[in-house]
Amino acid sequence: MPIKPIAVAVSLLAAATLAHSQSNELNIYSARHYPTDEALYSDFTKATGIKINRVDSDDAGILARLKAEGTASAADVILLVDATRLWRGEADGLFQGIRSTALEQAIPANLRSKPDAAGNTAWFGFSTRARVIVYDKAKIRKDDVDTYEELADPKHKGKICIRSGSHPYNLSLFGAVTEHLGEAKAEQWLRGIVANLARSPKGGDTDQIRGVASGECAIAVTNSYYLARLMRSDKPADQAVVDRVGVVFPNQSSWGTHVNIAGGAVARNAKNPANAVKFLEYLASPSAQNHFANGNNEWPTAKGVEINNPALKAMTGDGFKSETVPVSQIGGNQVKVQQMLDRVGFK
């Protein structure tokens, strides 16, 4: 059964055999589950005449499917929402490296994979989200939570909410901290966070923010776009949450705030590789980059794109210092980080 067009995208579990090589089609496996992205796909089709067929799953499901399908896979483009998973897809040989002057000029080197010996790049980051700290303004001073290191300070015992340590968002953050502190100090830091938890890790990032607002905890870690969504909401309950919490972009005086990426790659066995490259180049265009910022509250990665999102501007003012460690290095730390989590009992 052909994969359905974008307007009626189906899940990976429900999808069967996909459309193969057709010059006016493109098959996308996407882990981006944001309703505002529909305009991205429809605008591409309007501009190029290329029909997009899409299936949705999470990052792990997509990578597992690619492995299972092998050379029979009809996937042309892979969209994932985490650096560790992009790294894993590259390491498992699920992407094909490409050369694109447009992408190489638009996307900074630290936000794409390291080129291979032939100069081909396996994946590119198209948007970023900061891993920020939110806190109860009535209970916590901002300067007591302005670094990631302070999350492990005994003064915060019983105050922290966070989602599972094994979630890709946290694996990436912890992988970044490992780059900055070294393995021994990073493991000690993780042990300190476990000691400071207000409850066992559970829920998503929005749940952590709401936990601070409800008084369940006083400090939480979240991706920036979850807070931005609440800031842009017209629901009184969401505005009450926003009024209660403050936000910190950590480590502005040292290495900078950790940023994760959502990115894309051409599938190893793409049947429509030219269309796949064209789509990735489109994602780096000003119109698509502005959509990431204004539609899903992410920061664009392409150089020279102006941000007009009021929530992002309210959070950062004139901007913030982000870390510059290549995301490919951070992704490569995921195995050792998971081992640390197991040793310190971080669920």
Identify which has the larger pLDDT, 272 or 15.
272
C-alpha 204/C-alpha 213 separation (Å) is 15
**Matching residue, tokens 């940023």:** 259
Segment 257-261 shows an average pLDDT of 94
Q: How many alpha carbons lie under 13 Å from residue 150 in its C-beta half-sphere?
A: 22
The DSSP 8-state label assigned to residue 50 in this structure reads P
Average pLDDT, the chain: 91
Examine the pLDDT at 263 and tell me if it is beyond 50.
yes
Examine the pLDDT at 5 and tell me if it is beyond 70.
no
Closest by CA to 263, choosing from 35, 45, 88, 5, is 88
| Cβ(4)–Cβ(25) below 8 Å | no
**Matching residue, tokens 């400071």:** 196
The pLDDT assigned to 120 comes to: 97
Query: What confidence tier does 332 reach under pLDDT thresholds 50, 70, 90?
Result: confident
pTM of the model: 0.87
The residues facing 261 across adjacent strands are 128
Examine the pLDDT at 226 and tell me if it is beyond 60.
yes
Output the six-digit token pair for 167: 């979630």
CA-to-CA separations, 27 to 74, 174, 275, in angstroms, rounded = 7, 33, 9
Segment 189-194 shows an average pLDDT of 98
Query: What confidence tier does 308 reach under pLDDT thresholds 50, 70, 90?
Result: confident
Closest by CA to 189, choosing from 347, 331, 342, 340, is 340
Domains of the chain are: 6-127+260-307 (3.40.190.10), 129-257+323-344 (3.40.190.10)
Examine the pLDDT at 11 and tell me if it is beyond 60.
no
Q: Is residue 223 classed as helix, strand or coil in its secondary structure?
A: strand
**Matching residue, tokens 């792990």:** 60
**Matching residue, tokens 């949450």:** 241
Closest by CA to 13, choosing from 51, 50, 68, is 68
| Cβ(78)–Cβ(265) below 8 Å | yes
**Amino acid present at 312:** L
Examine the pLDDT at 6 and tell me if it is beyond 90.
no
The pLDDT assigned to 34 comes to: 82
| Cβ(126)–Cβ(219) below 8 Å | no
CA-to-CA separations, 248 to 87, 101, 245, in angstroms, rounded = 28, 36, 10
Closest by CA to 240, choosing from 209, 219, 203, 208, is 209
Rg (CA), the chain: 20
Centre a 10 Å sphere on the Cβ of residue 27 and count the other Cβ atoms it contains. 28
**Matching residue, tokens 């599972």:** 164
Examine the pLDDT at 233 and tell me if it is beyond 60.
yes
The pLDDT assigned to 329 comes to: 86
**Amino acid present at 35:** P
Examine the pLDDT at 336 and tell me if it is beyond 80.
yes
C-alpha 62/C-alpha 49 separation (Å) is 26
C-alpha 57/C-alpha 191 separation (Å) is 32
Examine the pLDDT at 12 and tell me if it is beyond 80.
no
Query: What confidence tier does 22 reach under pLDDT thresholds 50, 70, 90?
Result: low
